[in-house]
Structure 1
Amino acid sequence: MSITGILLAAGRGTRFDPSGQRNKLLQCPEGQQASVVAASARHMLAVLPRVVAVLRPGADAETLSAQLLALGCEVTICPQADTGMAASLAHALTYAGKDAQGFIIALGDMPDVQPSTIQSLKTALEQGAGIAAPMYRGRRGNPVGFSRHYLPQLLALEGDQGARGILKHAPVTELEVDDSGILQDVDTPADLHPKDKV
């Protein structure tokens, strides 16, 4: 079964730096040598043979693209990224979706998600789950796996809500994982320091 990874890395990141000078995806978390986006991508590539990363146009696209291509991702630029996450997601799915039987949709600012979690999602999709989501101590996190059955609904999303609406109204296979990284994103500069994470 062909499962494709989708790495959403097209946000503006204004909470991290309102001026737009520092792209959070290019920062290295304390104690790490890889950037936020490189770590996020590497963990997906450890499990999935194909990962498509979607970026926004702009000054950092070239640097981000170079890092992701060097790791083995495919990269596509979404011209409508500013209209919200749904546009970036639809762009990446349209780019990637011809042959995939399922998708694992991850966020580029979540570098602590473990490959074992991604493997669990992949296995659940291969075993027939329509939607699979990881749980850590009773809390649902990211990434989320979708079978191809949900592709039309994913492509129809609008705005900045991502796939939350689909998750509210469809059956979800919840997978308990020992991975707090499914709840941790880099939203502010403090998130680059592990001691400050919840």
Structure 2
Amino acid sequence: MSAGIIICAAGMGLRFISAGGDGLKLNAKLPDGMSVFEQSLDHARASGLPVLVITHPQHESVIEICSAANVPYVTLSSPSLGDSIACGVRSRPDWLGWIIHLADMPFIGAETFRQIENALRHCPSVRPFFREIPGHPVGFSKICQPELLSLQGENGARKVLTRFAPLQLNVTTPDVLSDIDLPDHLITGQL
């Protein structure tokens, strides 16, 4: 068994909607025609690592995509990141580590996931950095499991990173900083 990827897809994307976005941002189309979620999932799966999606029961399109691709998912009524992380870790206690991937970061490539998984074999947590700026996804080894299981609320895993300072994994692509928060980011990503 290795570390696996938990894709956190339970958020409601309220900033995206309030800025004029049409519906759930995970359904929004990127320039290549894929949805934000489809591309995030494809890149995670291309890593060859196990994948688990945590999504909201109202996100029917995410559930349909997972079902069609035979990707396991768990529904969670809370949109908070901390609750999603705890749910994912609770659902996959046998993994040797958990790479927490935010579903609205569709530009992260498969190699980044593999680099994080490899680094997790030697340290408690790993975070990619681009030009000294911390990015995502963040990986946690088995030693962090009790703290991850206790997470709740919007702060994600910040307190775990405080206790287990992450290895700085320097990457050459800004994709680890690019997410989709507003409709304009569908073309450019957010840096």
TM-score by length of 2: 0.92
CA distance in 1, matches of 2:54, 2:135: 20
Which of 65, 70, 90 is the matching residue for 2:63? Answer: 65
C-alpha contact (below 8 Å) 2:177/2:190 kept by paired residues: no
Which of 63, 84, 92 is the matching residue for 1:88? Answer: 84
Q: What's the CA shift for 1:21? A: 5.7
Deviations 1:91-150 (A, max 9, x none): 1211122x1111111000000111111111011113x22101101011010001110110
CA distance in 2, matches of 1:187, 1:20: 10
Q: How big is the alpha-carbon RMSD for the aligned residues of Structure 1 and Structure 2?
A: 1.7
Point out where structure 2 has 5 or more consecutive residues left out of the alignment. none
Alignment-derived partner of residue 14 in structure 1: 14
CA distance in 1, matches of 2:43, 2:52: 13
Which of 163, 184, 191 is the matching residue for 1:190? Answer: 184
Give SS of 1:17's match: helix
Are positions 1:181 and 2:175 aligned together? yes
Aligned length, in residue pairs: 190
Are positions 1:78 and 2:79 aligned together? no
Which of 165, 169, 175 is the matching residue for 1:171? Answer: 165
TM-score by length of 1: 0.89
4+ residue runs of structure 1 moved beyond 3 angstroms? 18-21
Deviations 1:143-188 (A, max 9, x none): 0111011011011122100011221232211111112111011001
Point out where structure 1 has 5 or more consecutive residues left out of the alignment. none
